[in-house]
Amino acid sequence: MPKLGLLPRHAEADSADPISVLAALPTPVLVIDANNAIRSVNPATEPFFQAGAAVLTTQNLSDIIPFDSPVFALIEAARSIGSSAAEYGLTLDSLRYGQHVISLQAARIAE
């Protein structure tokens, strides 16, 4: 479902910096590098994976998501086409954070 960000009535339209926008999202957002090392997370990621940002950003994606998860195929698809890719109804299952049915969107960040 699309998310709508609302600025306070007194705020200027150009005053919303990208970091604040990501922090306000109720959906987990992870930024990974070419080796799948986690470089950044938004606050919603912490309760989902039951770990703080300081811990998550020292890990590889395969440390928190099972290596055989379809998440990795979707990430590779997004990388190979150089655009975004999405999948709905994926199941993430881990002893650490339990089982979740998720919608996943992967996209390259412009350099």
Structure-token pair, residue 51: 């770990």
How confident is the model over 20-60, as pLDDT tens digits? 888 989 999 999 999 999 999 999 999 999 999 999 999 99
DSSP 71-108: HHHHHHHHHHHTS-EEEEEEEEEETTTEEEEEEEEE-P
Lowest pLDDT segment from 6-15, 19-28, 76-85: 6-15
Average pLDDT taken over every residue of the chain: 85
Residue 1's pLDDT band (boundaries 50, 70, 90)? very low
pLDDT at 14: 56
